[in-house]
Amino acid sequence: MSVTATGAGMRPIVVWEQPGDEQMFWQQDRMHFPNQLSLLEDDFIKFFYTEGFSAAAAGYELPIRPHARRMLTRHYLAIAPLQLSHEELEELGKRSEKNVGDAMARQRQRWDTEFLPEVRRMLAEWETFDLQAASDDALLAHWDATLARLARLSRIHFDLAIPMLLGLGLFDETYTDLFSAESSLESMRFLQGIPTTTTTTGQELWRLSRLALAEPAVRSVLESEAAADVVPALERDPAGATFLAELRAFLNRYGHRSELWGLSYPSWIEDPSPAIKMLKDYLSQPERDLVGEMESLATERERLTAEARAQLAGYPAQVREQFEFALAAGQAANYLQEEHGFWIDSYGFDCVRQVILEVGRRLVAQGVLAERDDIFHLRFAELRAALADPSSDLRGLVTERKAELAAFRDVQAPPVLGTEPPGPPPDNLIFRTMGKFFGAPPPPSDEPGVLRGAAGSAGSVRGVARVVRSLADAQRLQPGEILVTETTAPAWTPLFASAAAVVTDTGGVLSHCAVVAREYMIPAVVGTAMATAVIPDGATIEVDGAAGVVRILAD
């Protein structure tokens, strides 16, 4: 869609990008991409969905296809059914159900023995290529190889994501049917306490904080210096050398993550300030045993599993086998949701980002661009063309595209566009699970000062709301305050050890935020749609995670 402003107070002129787009139902995906998109980021998302989601959906014979568009400088997604007859869709549904079921049974094995080794080989190919020493021709060839690897990463992502999400949905529904659960939070307890790279990252950062507590000079630096000044201060202090080596080892291992999905945001390796800020917060909890708390989740999971198996002991073997299959699929999926997120969505995409930044640096040196990060305002094809023949001056084009972003910066993009389907979505596992992942529209509230969303993590707490719109903004979040934000990504995870609760605009019970909140045992209400707009920063609020309710008590 292209939009042209026609003057103050006048309606914009809207032109759909492709014929037929106006007939589809477009939803703004704020959970993954809450901010404006540059054109390079838009190309990346379309590439990701085409090479990944569409290809994997065809491979599993799913009766749906994704469509991604940049509208009003924001990301919109439409999941559309194939245009087939009822009989053809029914037959396709049977085949896809079998294909995905087979994949559920093998998802953890395939990750361990096939996908992860392949991903790590690709990461090694990126990391062993000397970007700065490469000739322009070699860098051009490396860009082409990067796109080929990105296509493969995208396919692996969705080859995993489809059975992974449906495995989570299958276990939730199986458990609810067998035990008459009143909430999805009951079934989620059977998936908790499984170590992942995401939780390990938080635990390793916690371990560093314990080292800092034991070394007075290091503790003094962390407590007195701003996050951005900690590393230079440690470099000046001989007592900080050992700790600084530990911190750098941590960043090299876990730092390939940025605050949101995509290519536009610096990783912790580029800017360690967010990680250091979380480390500083941990110092205020000297008596806490975070690792022990998280290990207790595994103990509870095993107890609940044993109790469920005992209750099913008298059931037919087919029922018990159904439960065990769904449980194994759900637990594998919960693990893979975070693992693929680290190795592909964080580490892999960061490697792509480093190639893009090197291209940007060279185009600045050749007079094509004014600043390195202007590269994000080019399309993929324009990037390649400029690298192959750096004779064009693209600075004026970049200025125009920056002006477009500025013009739409304060425009409230609608949550949906296009043509709403005539009835409710199909009542099948795919659409029910997507609703639990992305979140459904929140139920209306007729009480002043009350917001409703989805139950993300049980518990009730009162505290000061801190409205945070970026990890840089998270510097204002103090231990014990309630994190209020649009969405969270894996890089936000260590904040959950300091926050008393979390409230988001986006997501459902299967979203990243809800999963991590349960691992850190803090209340969470997700998918409120408007928490960041309605809750005043600094207000006292009450969060009831099990009920999915947030109350503003005092402004």
Name the least confident of 118-132, 399-413, 468-482, 536-550: 468-482
Task: Specify the pLDDT at position 255.
Answer: 94
Residue 490 pLDDT > 60: yes
Task: Specify the pLDDT at position 354.
Answer: 97
For the chain, report the end-to-end CA distance as a whole number of angstroms.
40
Residue 468 pLDDT > 90: yes
Task: Specify the pLDDT at position 377.
Answer: 97
**Over residues 325-334, mean pLDDT:** 96
Q: Are 455 and 545 in contact (CB under 8 A)?
A: yes
**Over residues 279-287, mean pLDDT:** 89
Q: What tokens does 30 get?
A: 């704020």
Helix (H, G, I), strand (E, B) or coil at 552: strand
Residue 383 pLDDT > 80: yes
Residue 277: other Cβ atoms inside 10 A: 22
Task: Specify the pLDDT at position 209.
Answer: 93
Q: Are 98 and 58 in contact (CB under 8 A)?
A: no
Where does the pLDDT of residue 6 fall: very low under 50, low under 70, confident under 90, or very high at 90 and above?
very low
**pTM tops 0.85, yes or no:** yes
Q: What are the tens digits of pLDDT across the range 83-132?
A: 888 888 888 888 998 999 999 999 999 999 999 999 999 999 999 999 99
> Between 336 and 472, where is the model more confident?
336
Say what percent of the chain tops pLDDT 70: 97
Q: Mean of the per-residue pLDDT values for the chain?
A: 91
Task: Specify the pLDDT at position 189.
Answer: 94
Where does the pLDDT of residue 238 fall: very low under 50, low under 70, confident under 90, or very high at 90 and above?
confident
Q: 439-554 in CATH: which number?
A: 3.50.30.10
**Over residues 25-46, mean pLDDT:** 94
**Over residues 348-370, mean pLDDT:** 97
Where does the pLDDT of residue 443 fall: very low under 50, low under 70, confident under 90, or very high at 90 and above?
confident
Task: Specify the pLDDT at position 4.
Answer: 45
**Over residues 213-236, mean pLDDT:** 92
Distance from C-alpha of 137 to C-alpha of 121, rounded to nearest angstrom: 23
The long-range contacts involving 397-405, CB below 8 angstroms and separated by at least 24 positions, are 398/369, 398/370, 398/374, 401/38, 401/39, 401/377, 402/377, 404/73, 405/36, 405/38, 405/73
The full DSSP string for 204-232 is HHHHHHHHHHH-HHHHHHHHHS-GGGHHH
Distance from C-alpha of 490 to C-alpha of 419, rounded to nearest angstrom: 33
Where does the pLDDT of residue 8 fall: very low under 50, low under 70, confident under 90, or very high at 90 and above?
very low
> Between 14 and 339, where is the model more confident?
339
Task: Specify the pLDDT at position 9.
Answer: 43
> Between 341 and 429, where is the model more confident?
341
Residue 298 sits at φ, ψ, to 5 deg, of: -65, -40
Task: Specify the pLDDT at position 14.
Answer: 61
Q: What are the tens digits of pLDDT across the range 38-52?
A: 999 999 999 999 999
Where does the pLDDT of residue 491 fall: very low under 50, low under 70, confident under 90, or very high at 90 and above?
confident
Residue 86: other Cβ atoms inside 10 A: 7
Residue 436 pLDDT > 70: yes
Distance from C-alpha of 458 to C-alpha of 525, rounded to nearest angstrom: 9
List the chain domain ranges. Answer: 2-85+415-435, 197-291, 439-554
- Half-sphere exposure in the Cβ direction for 192 (13 Å, CA): 28
Residue 241: other Cβ atoms inside 10 A: 12
Q: What are the tens digits of pLDDT across the range 170-183?
A: 999 999 999 988 88
Residue 7 pLDDT > 70: no
Residue 423 pLDDT > 90: no
Q: What are the tens digits of pLDDT across the range 136-193?
A: 999 999 999 999 999 999 999 999 999 999 999 999 999 999 998 888 899 999 999 9
Q: How far is CA 472 from the centre of its chain?
A: 17
Task: Specify the pLDDT at position 13.
Answer: 54
Task: Specify the pLDDT at position 64.
Answer: 87
Distance from C-alpha of 506 to C-alpha of 525, rounded to nearest angstrom: 10
**Over residues 429-438, mean pLDDT:** 86
